[in-house]
Amino acid sequence: NALSFLVCPRPPAVPFASVSIAKAEYNVGEKIIYHCQPGYLYQSGKWRYTCPFTGRWPSISIKCVAPKKCNQPEPLMNGNVHFTGLDFMNFANYSCDSGYILRGYESRLCQADGQWSEKLPKCHPVICPPPPVSEFSVLSYQRLKPGNISVFQDEINFQCLLPYVLFGNETAVCQADGNWSALPECKAVECSQPEDIENGYIYLLLRRAYRYKETVTYGCNPTYVLDGPTESRCEKTGQWSTKPICRAPCAIPVKKATVLYNNQKVKLQDHFQNGIQHAESIWFFCKNKEQNCSYKVAAQCDDGNFTVPACFKERGWFASYFKTDIADLSPCETAN
């Protein structure tokens, strides 16, 4: 039989495909299988064929196509994405920044249709448990934002119930490892009785130790002036804050003179028998002999110290009766 000697030639080439057994000739009844080459996808048609008695391969219908490229993977908020390419079968790998935990798939595959597999994962912030402060503790805290959950970088503020004092940072931060930064401590603080001040006194001094933030109020004896804060407070160090000083009045070493006080001319001998208080000023009149005029020079009381201007000359009894008071001379046009 002549048909038994017919053979099929090499099968036709198909783009992006290869034959399972590649030969120059195939016997009648011998089978071949087409495979898409690595990286290419089967689209349509038959992949199995048999050499017929005619010695002619039937029409080859298999089609292999190149897969689509994937788009650049979306960025991950509070995280990173790493990928080597955008071709089929490439992976995009995801990771989160410190303080965040990945929820979802760590890897996504570029598929033949050009889409990444799986949903984009998310980075959720680490949650810190409530700080270890008991309900009845003297240490209490307050969240700085609404809600009952504290996450990475959230802050809370601490307070101590009086008379306890807070030592350490007032604020704690939720850290990347899920723990709070160092918590403060509450300690009891007392100050011993405050010391008296010279030429002064303390209002309603209690004969006991004082607690943190308690205050005492100071006053000065008559004619003395309080310099500094009126109150002193028990500080967290167990010491009192700055005390005031009682500044002394000043005697005026002049018996008779006309002076300027509070912008008024007054007789020194009539108004200042007891001197003046600390920080007060008196203006003395001095004479310019060349121009026969007067000018003013101030003298201030400084905690009991008072210096009469060098230009001032106290008048004797004769000048008091027969010469014009310097204070009544015309004022000089320019100061000397």
Higher model confidence: residue 200 or residue 146?
200
Give the number of other Cβ atoms within 10 Å of residue 321's Cβ: 8
Q: How high does pLDDT run on average in the chain?
A: 90
pLDDT, one tens digit per residue, over 134-153 is 777 889 999 988 888 999 99
CA distance 256 to 283: 14
pLDDT, one tens digit per residue, over 84-106 is 899 888 999 999 999 999 999 99
CA distance 247 to 91: 83
Could you tell me the CA-to-CA distances from 304 to 49, 247, 277 in Å, in that order?
A: 124, 7, 8
Are 160 and 178 in contact by the 8 Å Cβ rule? The answer is no
Same CATH topology for 79-125 and 258-328: the answer is: yes
- The mean pLDDT value for 172-194 works out to 94
- pLDDT for 1: 42
Pick the CATH number of 258-328 from 2.10.70.10, 3.20.20.150, 1.10.3720.10, 3.40.718.10: 2.10.70.10
Among 97-106, 260-269, 296-305, the minimum mean pLDDT is found in 260-269
- Partner residues linked to 65 by β-bridges: 41
- The mean pLDDT value for 24-44 works out to 90
Please say if the pLDDT value at position 202 is more than 80. yes
Strands annotated E in 15-118: 17-19, 25-27, 31-36, 41-44, 48-50, 63-65, 79-83, 91-96, 100-103, 107-109
Are 268 and 243 in contact by the 8 Å Cβ rule? The answer is no
Are 83 and 34 in contact by the 8 Å Cβ rule? The answer is no
What are the residue boundaries of the structural domains of the chain, listed by start? 2-65, 79-125, 128-188, 191-247, 258-328
Confidence of residue 327 (pLDDT cuts 50, 70, 90): confident
* The two three-digit tokens of residue 138, written as one number: 């003297």
CA distance 332 to 54: 142
First to last CA, the chain: 150
Architecture of domain 79-125: Ribbon (2.10)
Confidence of residue 320 (pLDDT cuts 50, 70, 90): low
Fold held by 191-247: Complement Module; domain 1 (2.10.70)
CA distance 254 to 259: 11
Q: Does domain 128-188 have CATH number 2.10.70.10?
A: yes
> Which CATH superfamily groups domain 2-65?
Complement Module, domain 1 (2.10.70.10)
- pLDDT for 67: 83
